[in-house]
Amino acid sequence: MKRSASLRLVLMGGAALTLSACDESVDVGVFETVEQCQTMGYSQSACDTAIQAAAREHLQNAPRYATKADCEAEFGRCETPTQAASETPPGAGQNAASAQTPNQTPGQVAQNQGGGFGSFFMPMMAGYMIGNMMGNRSAMAQPLYRPVGETARANGGGLFAGNGTRVAGATGMTRMPESTLSAARAPATSTLSRGGFGARANSVSVAS
């Protein structure tokens, strides 16, 4: 083998190792309730804060559908942003509803902070995840959704982030690449039709 070819292989191998080292796996907690979160060693305050943050993300970045029928075909239970804004997150502890502003739900807090709502339907939040970024220096909380029917069968079922990333098959602790955790926070930029989330999840799976 020529020396130049050998050098290229060495450099390519070094680049791959560098990329791998930069994209380290991080611990991610996947929960449906504050109680499950506490069972994994997080404090009640951290769990309440995380579910509040996930609820705000839910209102801003949940998958969006023009019709309720299209949304329900992929997720079973859906609602409008106004309905979501009037609710306490599923599984929230007693302190969650007042963690940000007394007598306001997380959705109302998000709306008051500038989150305007349009006319669309979105799946109900099925759970949330807490991921520690950059060596535990910054924690990210994100909403999770549980598809049903063909969307679930085609993509392995379980809990998914709004961008289509399959996070876990069940609640508990798991690990994922830091880049995947960061990308899962991608905002909703388009309105989906029936089968749109399944296609999104498939494209994310193929890309990874």
Give domain status of residue 15, yes or no: no
What was the pLDDT predicted at 107?
Answer: 44
- Between residues 146 and 3, the one the model is more confident about: 146
Give domain status of residue 148, yes or no: yes
Mean pLDDT of 168-172: 91
Give domain status of residue 200, yes or no: yes
Pick from 31-35, 93-97, 177-181 the range whose average pLDDT is largest.
31-35
What was the pLDDT predicted at 182?
Answer: 76
- DSSP-H helix ranges across the chain: 3-22, 34-39, 44-61, 68-75, 81-85, 106-112, 149-155, 178-183, 196-207
In whole angstroms, give the CA distance from residue 26 to residue 8.
31
* Cα end-to-end span (Å), the chain: 33
Give domain status of residue 198, yes or no: yes
Give domain status of residue 115, yes or no: yes
In whole angstroms, give the CA distance from residue 186 to residue 206.
17
Mean pLDDT of 22-41: 86
In whole angstroms, give the CA distance from residue 201 to residue 163.
7
What was the pLDDT predicted at 188?
Answer: 66
Does the pTM surpass 0.75? The reply is: no
Mean pLDDT of 193-205: 82
Residue 164 in contact with residue 145, Cβ under 8 Å? no
What was the pLDDT predicted at 147?
Answer: 94
What was the pLDDT predicted at 76?
Answer: 94
pLDDT category of residue 113 using cuts at 50, 70 and 90:
very low
pLDDT category of residue 37 using cuts at 50, 70 and 90:
very high
Give domain status of residue 93, yes or no: yes
How many domains does the chain divide into?
1
What was the pLDDT predicted at 62?
Answer: 92
Give domain status of residue 189, yes or no: yes
Give residue 170's domain range. Answer: 24-207
Q: How far is CA 50 from CA 71, 144, 165, 168, in A?
A: 26, 12, 19, 18
The pLDDT of residue 69 is above 70? yes
Residue 169 in contact with residue 157, Cβ under 8 Å? yes
The pLDDT of residue 109 is above 80? no
Identity of residue 89: P
The neighbouring-strand residues paired with 53 are none
Task: Name the 3-class secondary structure at 92.
Answer: coil
Give domain status of residue 131, yes or no: yes
| Burial of 36 (C-beta count, 10 Å sphere; 0-12/13-18/19+) | middle
Residue 171 in contact with residue 146, Cβ under 8 Å? no
% of the chain with per-residue pLDDT over 90: 26
pLDDT category of residue 72 using cuts at 50, 70 and 90:
very high
Task: Name the 3-class secondary structure at 194.
Answer: coil
Indicate the average pLDDT of the chain: 75
